């Protein structure tokens, strides 16, 4: 079932994650995704904003349909990245799924206050980690209607 | 996987829906999927806002953990309800899922612009509807960490 994309274009997913292990695991988990996706990876907050704004080396990248955002990132913190996305008139409609090791209530509240679309904690257990990524595939990529912005 | 939300208590879900058939189906689907869900129903936008603001007969209404919101509603439109929720300093933290028959791009983009947490279109087919409610339960009420607000906030 593909509810999202009538044109058969792959769903562009931007993963903002500095841990190489978590990047690798997420890639592997999405390899078995039911949906046609393209996973783009950036390793810090500055690079995430450059990708989203199509600056520098990212001039020709597609617009992300969904963003998976870690909170603790080098250069520019994930909370700051989230705030910048949700303050930007063009970027704010892109759903942002926060995916982080922090399970603190303070982080959770603060992240919803910054208008994250949802908050998931990264389990340390491998099978559970794959399960979380699988749930993003099952829900966000297979069920949810993502916004299709026609302007860039 | 253990449910990560709540503290052993019920999960309060507010369904804002004017179609009696869809209300019935949603209730039954949640009853099957997750018995700890307390489903509250508001049949129009005004009723939804009085529930959320605990006005009138809703003085003792619980704060919902999750809101399922139809767009086309009598008295006050779902888009207006969404805008009011997301403009309210306290209510705006409650994840609000749009659940509607509309799959017009204009409605989808507008809902995300108004900060809907996600947008789902209601399938017309019975089994697909039940499966969608089940997926909401599995994702939002099992995987997601919902904000736990104290009443004073």
* Number of folded domains that form chain B: 1
Compute how many other C-beta atoms are within 10 angstroms of the C-beta atom of residue A21.
Answer: 9
Q: Which residues of B touch A106 (CB under 8 A)?
A: none
Instruction: Check residue A150 and give its pLDDT.
Output: 59
3-class secondary-structure state, position A41: strand
In a domain, B42, yes or no: yes
3-class secondary-structure state, position A60: coil
For residues B42 and B48, give the distance between their C-alpha atoms in angstroms, rounded to a whole number.
5
Instruction: Check residue A70 and give its pLDDT.
Output: 96
Q: What is the mean pLDDT of chain B?
A: 91
B 61-120 residues inside an 8 A Cβ radius of A: 92-93, 95, 103, 105, 108-109, 112-113, 115, 117-120
In B49-133 the beta strands, taken as DSSP E runs, fall at 66-69, 96-100, 118-121
Instruction: Check residue A3 and give its pLDDT.
Output: 46
In a domain, B28, yes or no: yes
B132 in contact with A at a CB cutoff of 8 Å? yes
| Chain A, nearest residue to B137 by Cα | A139
Write out pLDDT tens, residues A52-77. 999 999 999 999 999 999 999 999 99
Q: Which of B70, B3, B69 is nearest to B37 (CA)?
A: B3
Instruction: Residue B33: give the domain boundaries.
Output: 11-143
Whether the Cβ atoms of residue B115 and residue B95 lie closer than 8 Å to each other: no
Compute how many other C-beta atoms are within 10 angstroms of the C-beta atom of residue B76.
Answer: 16
Enumerate residues 6+ apart whose C-beta is below 8 A from A141.
Answer: A4, A11, A13, A33, A34, A35, A37, A66
Instruction: Check residue B9 and give its pLDDT.
Output: 78
Spell out the CATH class of A11-141: alpha beta
Proportion of chain B in helix, strand, coil states, percent, rounded to 5: 40, 15, 40
In a domain, B150, yes or no: no
Write out pLDDT tens, residues B109-140. 999 999 999 999 999 899 999 999 999 999 99
| Chain B, nearest residue to A135 by Cα | B139
For residues A105 and B153, give the distance between their C-alpha atoms in angstroms, rounded to a whole number.
13
Instruction: Check residue A152 and give its pLDDT.
Output: 41
B57 in contact with A at a CB cutoff of 8 Å? no
Domain boundaries, chain A: 11-141
In a domain, B152, yes or no: no
A112 in contact with B at a CB cutoff of 8 Å? yes
CATH number of the domain bearing residue B46: 3.40.50.2300
Is A151 a residue whose pLDDT tops 60? no
User: Token digits for B137?
Assistant: 């339960």
B24 in contact with A at a CB cutoff of 8 Å? no
Q: Residue B152's pLDDT band (boundaries 50, 70, 90)?
A: very low
Is B32 a residue whose pLDDT tops 50? yes
Write out pLDDT tens, residues A3-47. 444 557 899 999 999 999 999 999 999 988 888 999 999 999 999
- HSE-up (13 A, CA, CB side) for residue A90: 9
For residues B135 and B127, give the distance between their C-alpha atoms in angstroms, rounded to a whole number.
12
In a domain, B115, yes or no: yes
ipTM: 0.90
User: Token digits for A27?
Assistant: 């890639």
């Amino acid at each position: 079932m593909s509810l999202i994309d009538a044109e058969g274009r792959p769903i562009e997913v931007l993963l903002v994650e500095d841990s190489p292990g978590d990047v690798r695991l997420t890639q592997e988990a999405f390899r078995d995704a039911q949906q046609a996706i393209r996973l783009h990876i950036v390793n810090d907050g500055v690079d995430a904003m450059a990708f989203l704004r199509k600056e520098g080396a990212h001039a020709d990248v597609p617009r992300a349909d969904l963003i998976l955002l870690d909170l603790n990132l080098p250069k520019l913190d994930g909370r700051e990245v989230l705030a910048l996305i949700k303050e930007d008139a063009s970027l704010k409609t892109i759903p942002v799924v926060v995916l982080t090791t922090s399970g603190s209530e303070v982080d959770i509240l603060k992240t919803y206050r910054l208008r994250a679309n949802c908050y998931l904690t990264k389990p340390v257990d491998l099978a559970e980690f794959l399960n979380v990524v699988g749930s993003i595939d099952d829900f966000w990529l297979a069920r949810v209607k993502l916004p299709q912005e026609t302007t860039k | 996987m253990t449910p990560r939300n709540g503290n052993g208590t019920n999960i309060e879900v507010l369904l804002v829906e004017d179609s009696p058939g869809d209300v019935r189906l949603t209730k039954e689907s949640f009853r099957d999927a997750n018995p700890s869900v307390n489903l509250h129903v508001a049949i129009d936008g005004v009723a939804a806002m009085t529930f959320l603001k605990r006005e009138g007969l809703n003085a003792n209404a619980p704060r919902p953990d999750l809101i399922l919101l139809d767009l086309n509603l009598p008295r006050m439109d779902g888009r207006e309800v969404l805008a009011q929720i997301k403009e309210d300093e306290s209510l705006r933290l409650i994840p609000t899922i749009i659940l509607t028959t509309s799959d017009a791009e204009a409605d989808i983009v507008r809902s995300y612009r108004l900060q809907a947490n996600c947008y789902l279109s209601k399938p017309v087919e019975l089994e697909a509807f039940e499966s969608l409610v089940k997926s909401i339960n599995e994702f939002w009420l099992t995987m997601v960490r919902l904000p736990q607000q104290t009443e004073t906030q």
